[in-house]
Structure 1
């Protein structure tokens, strides 16, 4: 499977979900995985002191991660981070000796085989506030999660000011996700669809 698209929003009707679907439809060989649809406990109850049994949905999700050439994560920015369910998915699915390990020198070695990654990050924060507030979720996901686990090339695409975005702006963002999906699909040699699935008219300006 060349591309795995992780939709990190708890609401299937969100703009985040629409962007994930638009990317996948344009790619030609991509699967959307939404933690909200998985049956698992997002609480890493014992840290790494004691291993929790992986639920079947997590086992399948880990297989998908291990077989993807490109990993795309679409997520809103909530309280400086990502939604709790997505964070819980990271905690439970990305494990030492499986998705990453430490060398004898204490250096991290990522074990995911994906060569390419994208982060689609949505925030209500306007662009002109970013120099003051920063985007910690970008560092958390792109560097502290994706690159940490071995995805060598990660590009971040920011959609800012979501709550006040016009219909025209939302359309541009959806079209952008479609172009990214099509470009990644061509690079991977995936069958190209004639046209990507149109966005639902129910998409509103909420991340």
Structure 2
């Protein structure tokens, strides 16, 4: 029994869940999906921290000096939550093919030049978030297969490759919930159950 308990502690992960919907209202599917994941993760013994971007007050990044400077004071706790996590879950709605402006602005401010990268002699800078996995959870009005096949999921792939992978994170397969606006109660319950199960597994 002691060995099983020790194994459970080893498998427990430190997880940061980012609620990326820019609206503070709790009525959105994104908030419910993120909460379901967090609840499942906590029930399984994982350490979970949650960030609600809509509740944060931070400036927009406007010039090179700001990008090279420190993370804004209002985001230092968020930066710490990302830095200390083994696994990061980012939940957001698809707007105009990619992240909402406020959600992207958050990542622009926490991934500054000196906080997200470290210089290497004779080579490209290395991301400071190496070794962390990340799961994207995206809701959208169109069918998910249509976004992948017709639009080639360019906005999503750009965020994975040009932001997350660049700072050292290892993106996992994204979960796309299409037709969100037309989904009935039974389908939504199924989606929430899926998120809770991913949370229990810590992936």
Shorter-chain TM band: 0.7 to 0.9
Instruction: Provide closer, same or farther for how the CA distance between residues 136 and 107 of structure 1 changes in structure 2, counting only shifts above 3 A.
Output: same
For the residue of structure 2 that corresponds to 1:97, the secondary structure is helix
Structure showing the higher helix proportion among its residues: 2
Q: How does 1:7-26 map to 2 (within 5 A)?
A: 7-11=19-23, 12-26=26-40
Match of 2:190 among 172, 175, 181: 172
Check if 1:3 corresponds to 2:15. yes
Counterpart Cα distance in 2 of 1:150 and 1:47: 22
Determine the C-alpha separation between the residues in 2 that align with 1:57 and 1:72. 21
Partner of 2:41: 27
| CA distance in 1 between partners of 2:39 and 2:99 (Å) | 24
The ranges of structure 1 where at least 4 consecutive aligned residues each deviate by more than 6 angstroms after the TM superposition are: none
Provide the TM-score with structure 2 as the length reference. Answer: 0.81
Report the RMSD for the aligned CA atoms in angstroms: 2.2
Distance in 2 between the 1:53 and 1:123 partners? 34
Task: Name which of structure 1's ranges 157-166 and 113-122 shifts more when overlaid on structure 2.
Answer: 113-122
What runs of 5+ residues in structure 2 fail to find an aligned partner? 1-12
What TM-score results when the alignment is normalised by the length of structure 1? 0.80
Q: Aligned partners of 2:177 and 2:143: how far apart in 1?
A: 9
Query: Is the aligned partner of 1:83 residue 2:100?
Result: yes
Q: Indicate conservation of the 8 Å contact 1:66/1:114, yes or no.
A: no
